[in-house]
């Protein structure tokens, strides 16, 4: 390893433990040279902590991060975003020169350790664009979220570079998805990000942490290719850029997570990629059942295993 670096994710509740462990399994599966370290908040149950400890997954105890209640609220449809502000604590992980922040609703498909050596200035981040197509026509999403304004619409093929933001570009060209963020932790940068959270207007932030990151780092975030944060709807909405064998990290955005239903009651456009999550989960289970059967029993209780 050429530098002190790590992948990290946030765990605030046991329900996301199966997802986190599947991310961890994926990093091992692709022979990553870097560890996964987990930011945990005080409310995380001891049982989940014990499972992380028994699997030698390092934990960093952090405090929950929230703006004052009168400064921001999330729509009822997106209540799951309520604690995602705490992801910003990744800037505090100063034991590392470089951190790649991951969400727990992902699977790692190919090695992406090159992100640990991606050139970044001290005050820069890197991330892939948000998809601004709003195919589900969710009413509280920004009015300019239409396919013509989506940065992914401008990408011509699987290996083409994404567009860069400029003042004349559609506003969504400056919006990132925070499922994967490459950053350089520092006390100075962390303090500046939290000061921004505490002092700047947040009313228009539909997606808490990622809207803040896009605003704070405007003009200072490098767009990554789609395949580092392959949002699962892209496979259907933007087939011109998608190729299964190019996906580095697949992100199960949207409210319904794959671990909620092994066998969906109705067929949908994303069933194929949801099945990939179960394949990774089952691979992890084959090993864990042999070494820690009680842990596996607990983890299995957190997912819908009905076939």
Please report, for the domain that includes residue 32, its CATH number: 3.90.550.10
- pLDDT value at residue 263: 74
* CA 236 – CA 270 distance, rounded (Å): 8
- pLDDT value at residue 32: 98
Q: Whole domain around residue 21: which residue ranges?
A: 5-131+177-300
Q: How many domains does the chain have?
A: 1
For the chain of 307 residues, list the mean pLDDT of each consecutive stretch of 10: 86 95 97 98 96 97 81 45 83 97 97 98 97 88 93 97 92 96 98 92 81 93 97 95 98 89 74 92 92 94 78
- pLDDT value at residue 78: 41
Q: Which helix (H) or strand (E) element contains residue 106?
A: strand 106-108
- pLDDT value at residue 167: 87
* CA 77 – CA 84 distance, rounded (Å): 15
Q: Specify the 3-state DSSP secondary structure of 61.
A: strand
- pLDDT value at residue 73: 45
Bridge partners of 38, per DSSP, are: 9, 59
- pLDDT value at residue 68: 64
- Return the residue matching tokens 């959270």: 197
- Between the CA of residue 34 and those of 49, 73, 90, 164, 288, what are the distances in Å? 21, 36, 16, 29, 21
* CA 184 – CA 122 distance, rounded (Å): 6
Domain presence at residue 256: yes
The residues, any chain, with a CB within 8 Å of residue 123's CB and separated by 6 or more, are 189, 217, 220
- pLDDT value at residue 137: 85
The length of the chain is 307
CB 143 within 8 A of CB 200: no
Q: Sheet holding 106-108: strands in order across? A: 106-108, 249-251, 230-231
**DSSP tag of 276:** H
Nearest to residue 180, comparing CAs of 246, 116, 268, 267?
Answer: 116
Domain presence at residue 151: no
* CA 166 – CA 177 distance, rounded (Å): 18
Domain presence at residue 107: yes
Domain presence at residue 165: no
* CA 101, chain centre distance (Å): 7
Domain presence at residue 150: no
Domain presence at residue 211: yes
Domain presence at residue 202: yes
Q: How many other C-beta atoms lie within 10 A of the C-beta of residue 59?
A: 15
**pTM for the complete prediction?**
0.93
- pLDDT value at residue 265: 61
Question: For residues 140-173, b (16+ Cβ closer than 10 Å) or e, as one string?
Answer: ebbeebeeebbbbbbbeebeeebbebeeeebebb
* CA 108 – CA 15 distance, rounded (Å): 19
CA angle 237, 239, 240 (to 5 degrees): 125
Domain presence at residue 114: yes
Q: Chain-wide mean pLDDT for the chain? A: 91
- pLDDT value at residue 255: 78
CB 111 within 8 A of CB 94: no
């Amino acid at each position: 390893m050429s530098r002190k670096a790590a992948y990290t994710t946030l765990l605030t509740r046991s329900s996301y433990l199966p997802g986190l462990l599947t991310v961890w399994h994926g990093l091992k599966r692709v022979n990553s040279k870097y560890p996964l370290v987990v930011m945990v908040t005080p409310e995380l149950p001891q049982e989940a902590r014990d499972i992380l400890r028994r699997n030698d997954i390092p934990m960093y105890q952090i405090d929950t991060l929230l703006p004052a209640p009168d400064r921001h609220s999330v729509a009822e449809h997106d209540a799951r975003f309520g604690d995602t502000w705490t992801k910003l604590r990744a800037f505090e992980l100063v034991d590392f020169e470089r951190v790649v922040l991951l969400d727990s609703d992902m699977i790692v498909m190919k090695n992406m350790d090159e992100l640990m050596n991606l050139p970044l200035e001290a005050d820069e981040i890197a991330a892939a664009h948000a998809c601004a197509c709003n195919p589900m026509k969710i009413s509280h999403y920004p009015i300019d979220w239409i396919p013509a304004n989506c940065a992914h619409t401008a990408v011509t093929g699987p290996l083409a570079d994404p567009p860069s933001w400029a003042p004349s570009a559609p506003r969504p060209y400056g919006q990132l998805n925070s499922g994967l963020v490459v950053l350089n932790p520092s006390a100075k940068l962390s303090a500046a990000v939290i000061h921004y959270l505490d002092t700047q207007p947040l009313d228009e932030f539909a997606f808490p942490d990622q809207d803040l990151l896009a605003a704070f780092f405007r003009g200072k975030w490098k767009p990554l290719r789609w395949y580092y944060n392959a949002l699962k709807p892209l496979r259907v909405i933007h087939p011109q850029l998608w190729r299964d064998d190019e996906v580095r990290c697949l992100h199960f955005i949207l409210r319904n997570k794959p671990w909620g239903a092994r066998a969906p009651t109705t067929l949908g456009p994303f069933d194929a990629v949801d099945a990939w999550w179960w394949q990774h989960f089952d691979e992890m289970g084959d090993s864990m059942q042999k070494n820690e059967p009680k842990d596996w029993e607990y983890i299995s209780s957190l997912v819908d295993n009905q076939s």
